[in-house]
Structure 1
Amino acid sequence: MRAVAVPAAGVAVAAFAVLGLALWFGGGTPRPPIEGLPAPDVVTMVGLPVARVLHDACAAATVGTLLAALLGPEEDAARIARPAWRWAVGWAASAALVEVLTLSDFLAMSVPDTLRSGVMPTFVLHIPQGQAFTVVGVLALAIALGVVAPLRVRSRAVLAGLTGLAVVAVLPPAYVGHSASATDHNLAVSSLMLHIGAVTLWVGGLYGVAVRLRGPVLAVRRFSALALWCFAAAGFSGLVNAWIRLGDPGRLLDSRYGLLVLAKIAALGALGWFGWRHRRATIAVLERGGGSRPFLRLAAGEIGVMAATLGLAVALSRTAPPQGEGGLAHQHELLGYVVAPLTSGRLLTVVRPDPIALFAVGGALAAYLVAAWRSGGPWPAGRTLAWAAGSLVLLYALVGGVAAYGPAVFSAHAAQYALAGTAAPALLALGAPISLRLGAVPGPLSHPAAALVCYALPYPLLYLTGLFDLAQSSLAVRLAVLAVLVTTGTLFFAVALGVDPLPRAIRVAVRIRMLLGAAAVQVWVALLLLTGPPQGWGWYAVLALPWAPDRDADQRLGALLGPGISLSAIVLVLALLAGRSRAARRRLADPRFG
């Protein structure tokens, strides 16, 4: 017990000491109230940042415990994951505490007076800051129930689902705070979401591997690869977010906010050194059978630096960035960025960078190239070109002109979703990623009917349930919908093309019927958009762009453009499949192959 308690106490001291020092430096510590003006009491001023540190620590420990169970032996998964329910309950409780203290801070009232004011239900249900932590609390409790449910964690699929849900649950606070009012709202929020997700996986994962697993070599090797990606994502997104909030790099040195950002960059560099030492020394000791003590010793120091960095991050969120020029006055209030009148040329030249999309597509391309290089033999150049082409198409769909105008113009939206959901996945599937062990098609989803349903289902959900309006107005929902389209589209074409080995054999005739079914789905989408009700009427009315095209005509254009792009891609895949089938029959008929 002492072996765990002493390091844990040191970690807590590091986190709260850095928190207090950074709050003092950034001006977040309690100050004497101004006579005649209301002010929150010392309990709120001190308690709110402390509660945020506890909240972030519980979130990281929940994610890390679940991740440790995922990385460890499958037969021990349930035992390893079991403590996650305690962390998840603490996560939910700390989220509720943050809500109470945040409202107390808003109202400049003591906590008892805040609770008696009757404002709490409104804050929790209708104010963004309250809504964010309400969602966090609900998801954290759902994770706790998932862990202690009678079925427990009996498969990696269930465990992966709980881990994914835990990562999603850390993201809602990215919509509140400084990023929500930054000069480029969407870019700031997207970079912060990537930053929070990467840091939580990194910090929590190290806790899980070091404390819950005690450093087995296979789990450490797996986590080391994940940690490298998390380090890159955290550094990239952190720099993007700092650039948005500061604007001018010179403000790094002439503002306290900038100096705290420099301190956080230094902490990231220190953590990078820890990772380098693990790769150079401790993992090698583990692989030689030298025991886990060197790894655990270095990991303890790394966790201490991570805890201090969490305290610094909370203090930074309580420090006002320097006032910049511009802001929302120079951009559309609802879109969150500058949007010029649409022209065909701008669809090709405008770039709307999104850190999550850039990192995801760039990371997938890098992982593919590395896997092809390590494949042990000459990897077909055509497959590499197909994956690269699919990555470029997907990158344009996510950060190019159709991404910039998609939330504002229906025809651009239709083109974006067709490229992301059909054209890019078809090319990615031709790259044979499963053969490179970059993924796998689950057995149940390898059935042709199941794969077709996965491909088809997002479209009626998008256009018949009201999800379209939500996706157009919310960056997070839009990114989630696009991620589903890319995933289901790639899975469908992986099954339909059969370039990769699958759990079951599928005849060419069945594959052709699958593609014809996908074509029928796109025809249905076109007819729905041509003859059905207008999509997003309320959203486009609220946007009120002076240069917006006629809504009915634009929806008709989108009905032809989006399904037209998808049908073109499907026809090309059909032609490719038919050509491969004819070539196979000729080879069978050739006496030399008899």
Structure 2
Amino acid sequence: MSVPGLPLSTVAPGRVVVAAAALGAAVALVVLTVTAPAAGPATALPDAGPAVALLSSGARLAGRVCAVVAVGGLLLPAWLLGEVRAPARVLRTVRVAAWAWVVASAVGMVATAAEALAVPLPGALASARVWAFVPTLETGRALMVTAVLAAFVGGGTLLVRTSGEALALLALALLAVLPTSLTGHVATSELHVPVTVGTAVHVVGALLWVGGLVGLGLLGRGPSLADAVGRFSGLALVAVSLVTVSGLLSAWWRLGPVGDAWRTSYGVLVLTKVALLAVLLALGAAHRRWSLPALRRGSTRVWWRLAAAETAVMGLALGAAVALGRAPTPTRPDVVALPHGGVTTVDRALPEPTAWRLVVEPRGSATGVVAVALLVLLVGLAASRPGLAPRAVWRGLAYGLGAAAVLGWLLLGGPGAYASALLVVHGLRLVAAALLVPPLLVLAAQHLLPAVPVDRRASPVDAALPVVVLVGVVLGSPLLGVSLARESVGTALVAGAVLAGLPAALLATRTDRRQAALVLVGVGLLVLLALTARPDAFAAQWFADLPLDWADPLRGTGIGERGE
């Protein structure tokens, strides 16, 4: 099997590895579907039929495989190849995988809505009622976000020129996987915060592990393979640790140490994944024992054989993960379920705000922890790139971890605790995220990543415009109420404010950056003025329903005595 214009030795390994992952995942899904226990006794409730259920599982599996290929392809220019440019065909593969990911997400939306409405195939695909129902479902909204982010990944491959740009696109690809991973069982878990964080760490670690192998397969038998494998070895060790620890902890939290929960279909699938993990660890040990020494001697045969077997087993684990997402979760008898899955943006015991509490009051936000951990992971990956001077590494780490600390304070400190109870804090937090975090990120990138671009043409006002638009859209649309009520949306908006603030931080001169910062400070003052002058115009019902004695629905700021 060959491709015109490309040598067989370069293309074949990539095809074998990617095909092994896809085939393993498909085989796992088919086996698990066929051997799934039969449904309970028939009821009068309508059902969409097995075709829609299979379409939903298949779309989710296809999306995961496409995500693995996209992450693996982006890992090459972002980290595994160092200063060597990735072949153009790798970015083309990432682009195809990203757009296929968009299609799989769209199909998943339809299948999810069709299942909820009990609309069978083929009418579900063309039903306007099904499409209109997608945004009302949590999974449907998650797939919509994933589709948009995957589209950005596909379009971004046309613009990637440097390893820093590839790393930013890699972060977007990892972020695109999380919305669908953090819905369903995770969102309704009684132990919401630890399970959410554990699942996010598990998913990111697995993507880096599987994606790294697929990326090496896409690279083929080039002269840079040995160096790339050496860099992947360190990354794989970290990823394996994350996957193992987070997976075992999540299983413990969900199922408990012993009991009947482990004998349910959900428990059996968890044990299946544990067994597959044990096989993968054994294959990893075989890599270190045989294939890596052979690779240093110039022989690639053992490496590719073990890599193909490893990705096939990883594919089986992907299929088991998709089946696990559709299996009913057993309820532990020692954990009391909370209303709405225990998820709330405002703590009923939140004390009345003071200046000190607005700074230090802690907030247990699962999505906030995930966002900060992802930023720390990306900074660590950038700092571990070869060829960097020690001084540059330490300075880059200091600035990068400083940005993570500020982001953590906005999401997990006083601003995070009071953002959904104090409208002023909610608005000013967005401005602060755009003003404080991007300059630290840019300074970190200038030390850790080569050729960080600066904008020599934009004016300070133009650079600050994305922040103005974001704040205006949030405060002037129904998105305000959604962000107040949903922790994940609030966290996403803070992350969006950080991205919107990057153009101002990338201005060419210090004078321009200072002027842009003054513009953002002015935006913050205008937000403060608007929210204190007319608070009743912004999500008044939300504040009226808050279970807090010190909240005042008439003022909307949450400060003062409650009116009669």
- Provide TM-score, normalisation by structure 2: 0.73
2:7 match: none
> Are the aligned partners of 1:123 and 1:131 in contact in 2 as well (CA < 8 Å)?
no
Q: Map of 1:415-426 to 2, 5 A cutoff?
A: 420=433
1:549 match: 551
Work out whether 1:356 is the aligned partner of 2:370: yes
Q: Which amino acid aligns with 2:25?
A: A
Structure 2 distance, partners of 1:63, 1:379, is: 24
Q: Which amino acid aligns with 1:179?
A: V
Structure 2 distance, partners of 1:328, 1:471, is: 21
2:9 match: none
Q: Give 1:192 shift.
A: 4.2
Q: Which amino acid aligns with 2:546?
A: L
Structure 2 distance, partners of 1:160, 1:292, is: 28
Q: Which runs of 5+ in 1 are unaligned?
A: 496-503, 559-594
Q: Give 1:57 shift.
A: 1.6
Q: Give 1:489 shift.
A: 6.8
After the TM superposition, which of the residue ranges 539-548 and 155-164 deviates more from structure 2? 155-164
Q: Give the secondary structure class of the aligned counterpart of 2:187.
A: helix
Q: Map of 1:549-568 to 2, 5 A cutoff?
A: 549-550=551-552, 555=557
> Are the aligned partners of 2:156 and 2:169 in contact in 1 as well (CA < 8 Å)?
yes
Structure 1 distance, partners of 2:459, 2:342, is: 42
> Are the aligned partners of 2:431 and 2:523 in contact in 1 as well (CA < 8 Å)?
no
Q: Give 1:352 shift.
A: 0.9
Q: Which amino acid aligns with 2:317?
A: T
2:212 match: 205
1:327 match: 337
Q: Give 1:299 shift.
A: 1.6
Structure 2 distance, partners of 1:231, 1:42, is: 35
1:58 match: 66
Aligned counterpart in structure 2 of residue 177 of structure 1, from 184, 187, 196: 184
Aligned counterpart in structure 2 of residue 112 of structure 1, from 108, 122, 126: 122
Structure 2 distance, partners of 1:203, 1:132, is: 23
Counterparts in 2 of 1:483 and 1:463: CA distance versus 1, 3 Å? closer
Deviations 1:215-273 (A, max 9, x none): 61333344445444544554565456556644x44456464423433443454455455
Structure 1 distance, partners of 2:163, 2:381, is: 22
Q: Give the secondary structure class of the aligned counterpart of 2:190.
A: coil
Work out whether 1:410 is the aligned partner of 2:392: no
Work out whether 1:399 is the aligned partner of 2:412: yes
Q: Give 1:545 shift.
A: 0.7
2:101 match: 91
Q: Give 1:365 shift.
A: 7.7
Work out whether 1:123 is the aligned partner of 2:133: yes
Q: Which amino acid aligns with 2:313?
A: V
> Are the aligned partners of 1:40 and 1:108 in contact in 2 as well (CA < 8 Å)?
yes
Q: Map of 1:483-562 to 2, 5 A cutoff?
A: 483=495, 485=497, 510=510, 514-515=513-514, 518-519=517-518, 521-531=520-530, 534=534, 538-539=538-539, 541-542=541-542, 544-547=545-548, 549-550=551-552, 555=557
Q: Give 1:421 shift.
A: 5.1
Structure 1 distance, partners of 2:93, 2:393, is: 44
Work out whether 1:102 is the aligned partner of 2:116: no
Work out whether 1:478 is the aligned partner of 2:478: no
Deviations 1:11-34 (A, max 9, x none): 555434433555577xx4444761
After the TM superposition, which of the residue ranges 190-199 and 305-314 deviates more from structure 2? 190-199
Counterparts in 2 of 1:539 and 1:244: CA distance versus 1, 3 Å? farther
Structure 1 distance, partners of 2:71, 2:381, is: 24
1:34 match: 42
- Provide TM-score, normalisation by structure 1: 0.70
1:312 match: 320
Structure 2 distance, partners of 1:124, 1:255, is: 30
Q: Give 1:170 shift.
A: 3.1
After the TM superposition, which of the residue ranges 274-283 and 205-214 deviates more from structure 2? 274-283
Counterparts in 2 of 1:34 and 1:494: CA distance versus 1, 3 Å? closer
- Residue correspondences, number: 531
Counterparts in 2 of 1:48 and 1:450: CA distance versus 1, 3 Å? same
1:586 match: none
Q: Which amino acid aligns with 2:214?
A: Y
RMSD: 4.9
Counterparts in 2 of 1:462 and 1:263: CA distance versus 1, 3 Å? same
Work out whether 1:342 is the aligned partner of 2:348: no
Q: Give 1:316 shift.
A: 0.7
Structure 2 distance, partners of 1:413, 1:540, is: 14
Q: Give 1:321 shift.
A: 0.9
> Are the aligned partners of 1:530 and 1:556 in contact in 2 as well (CA < 8 Å)?
no
Q: Give 1:303 shift.
A: 0.5
Q: Map of 1:421-432 to 2, 5 A cutoff?
A: none
> Are the aligned partners of 1:30 and 1:45 in contact in 2 as well (CA < 8 Å)?
no
1:298 match: 306
Deviations 1:389-439 (A, max 9, x none): 66555433332343233233235446755765556677788xx7457x434
Identical-residue share of aligned pairs (%) = 29
Q: Give 1:356 shift.
A: 1.1
Counterparts in 2 of 1:135 and 1:397: CA distance versus 1, 3 Å? closer
Deviations 1:100-125 (A, max 9, x none): 44344334453235457653232345
Counterparts in 2 of 1:105 and 1:276: CA distance versus 1, 3 Å? same
Structure 1 distance, partners of 2:133, 2:264, is: 33
Q: Give the secondary structure class of the aligned counterpart of 1:444.
A: coil
1:564 match: none
1:562 match: none
Q: Give the secondary structure class of the aligned counterpart of 1:111.
A: coil
